[in-house]
Amino acid sequence: MADDTDKTEEPTAKKLEKARGEGNVPKSGEVVGAAILLFGTVYMLFWSTYTYDSIKKLMIYIFNKIGQELTSTDYYNMTNAIITTIFYSLAPFFLVVILLAIILNVVQFGFLTNPIKLKFEKLNPVSGLKGLFSLKKLLEATKLLAKLTLIVFVMTILFGLTYKGFIAMMDKDITSSLDAMFTLLLYFVGAILFIVILFAIIDYFFTRHYYFKSLKMSKEEVKDEHKNMEGDPKVKAKIKGIQYKLHYERMRASAKDADVVITNPTHYSVALQYDSAVNSAPKVVAKGIDFLALKIRDVAKENKIPIIENPALARALYDQIQIDQEIPGEFYQAMAEVFSYVFELNKNKR
């Protein structure tokens, strides 16, 4: 198991994809909260006329009931008015908030196609206590404390500057008091919004930094991953050796049936076979360079197959023609000369 100090390498694409498949993504809750608060503020400023009027009417209705003797019918009507007003006036707002939260999460880390799996080990109280005192939790607690401290500090100063406005509301009628309260509320919301956005920006970069840091890998882990992806070099070498051996055996078997071998004389060898009853032109039955070229020459000598040294022709045949492929028309003249020579050799042997 690699120590954290050894994990100096950036996470590979495979590890990032694996973490994503497990639901481990860089998600900042502060960003979502700040965006929702910003939307709520904008909503209050520009699109809250209906909501504001509905709530103001509800509050006036409730205030007018103060001091009166209420019946069960009055309580029913008041409860119904509260529920109805809140639902119709705030339902569109909350619907947009939910959509906004979904969109912001998608923007941060995209869609997660894999289903979320319940990990029972996370329910272990011992591991939970360890996580509670982790560095990440400590930093998050420090960040939350700093944010709350700053909000309280700013709210205290702001209240000191606006408390006379709150006192003055007591001498006004209900409608004027609600209008003044709404205006003062915007000052407080604006101050809180500034602080929340500031911490959201910090949290966004902190979350991403910690996320990629937590996924860092050691050099050995990167090496092992590449080995798993590309295959063990020893296994690959063994497979390559087996393939080479099979190719060599096929080449030897095919070269035995050749009528002639063209060489250059050592680096290239091409074995040709021509059966006029089967093929319209000679075909390449074996070819090779260096070691295989020498082996083809050895097979030719063992089987008394003519060997013709023609460097240019051997190189051209090797480069342009595959095994079991017939010779194309541009080589017919050269083939005619080669096989005429082979025919004369065979004739003299008789």
The answer to whether the beta carbons of residues 272 and 283 sit under 8 Å apart is yes
How high is the pLDDT of residue 7? 75
Reported as a single tens digit per residue, the pLDDT across 178-213 is 677 777 777 787 788 888 888 888 888 888 888 788
Q: Among 269, 315, 319, which residue's Cα sits nearest to residue 295?
A: 269
Q: Among 33, 28, 47, 40, which residue's Cα sits nearest to residue 189?
A: 40
Residues forming a β-bridge with 262: 270, 308
Q: How confident is the model at residue 335 (pLDDT cuts 50, 70, 90)?
A: confident
> In degrees rounded to 5, what are phi and psi of residue 218?
-80, 165
CA distances from 133 to 138, 170, 208 (A): 7, 49, 21
**Residue with more model confidence, 22 or 127:** 22
The pLDDT of residue 269 is above 80:
yes
Q: Which residues contact 274 (CB under 8 A, 6 or more apart)?
A: 259, 281, 282, 283, 335, 339
The answer to whether the beta carbons of residues 37 and 192 sit under 8 Å apart is yes
> What is the mean pLDDT of the segment spanning 15-21?
74
Reported as a single tens digit per residue, the pLDDT across 210-231 is 878 878 887 787 777 776 665 5
How high is the pLDDT of residue 118? 47
How high is the pLDDT of residue 235? 60
CB atoms within 10 A of CB 350: 4
How high is the pLDDT of residue 14? 75
Fold held by 235-349: name from scop (3.40.1690)
CA distances from 229 to 14, 15, 333 (A): 10, 12, 50
The pLDDT of residue 2 is above 60:
no
**Residue with more model confidence, 156 or 135:** 156
Residues forming a β-bridge with 348: none
The pLDDT of residue 337 is above 60:
yes
How high is the pLDDT of residue 4? 58
Q: Which residues contact 290 (CB under 8 A, 6 or more apart)?
A: 266, 267
> What is the mean pLDDT of the segment spanning 63-68?
76
Residue ranges, CATH 3.40.1690.10, the chain:
235-349
> What is the mean pLDDT of the segment spanning 288-309?
85
The answer to whether the beta carbons of residues 318 and 268 sit under 8 Å apart is yes
The answer to whether the beta carbons of residues 197 and 34 sit under 8 Å apart is yes
Question: How far does the chain reach from its first CA to its final CA, in angstroms?
Answer: 76
Q: Among 344, 255, 268, which residue's Cα sits nearest to residue 305?
A: 255
Lowest pLDDT segment from 155-164, 173-182, 187-196: 173-182
How would you class 80 by CB atoms within 10 Å of its CB: exposed for 0-12, middle for 13-18, buried for 19 or more?
Answer: exposed
How high is the pLDDT of residue 303? 85
How high is the pLDDT of residue 1? 47
**Residue with more model confidence, 282 or 254:** 282
Residues forming a β-bridge with 284: 272
**Residue with more model confidence, 175 or 300:** 300
Reported as a single tens digit per residue, the pLDDT across 77-91 is 888 888 888 787 777
Kindly report the three-state secondary structure assignment for every residue of the chain.
Answer: CCCHHHCCECCCHHHHHHHHHCCCCCCCHHHHHHHHHHHHHHHHHHHCHHHHHHHHHHHHHHHHHCCCCCCHHHHHHHHHHHHHHHHHHHHHHHHHHHHHHHHHHHHHHCCCCCCCCCCHHHHCHHHHHHHHCCHHHHHHHHHHHHHHHHHHHHHHHHHHHHHHHHHHHCCCCHHHHHHHHHHHHHHHHHHHHHHHHHHHHHHHHHHHHHHHHHCCECHHHHHHHHHHHHCCHHHHHHHHHHHHHHHHHHHHHHHCCCCEEEECCCCEEEEEECCCCCCCCCEEEEEEECHHHHHHHHHHHHCCCCEEECHHHHHHHHHHCCCCCECCHHHHHHHHHHHHHHHHHHHHHC
Distance CA 219, CA 226 (A): 11
How high does pLDDT run on average in the chain? 76
How high is the pLDDT of residue 199? 84
Reported as a single tens digit per residue, the pLDDT across 97-139 is 778 777 777 766 665 555 445 454 554 555 545 555 566 677 7
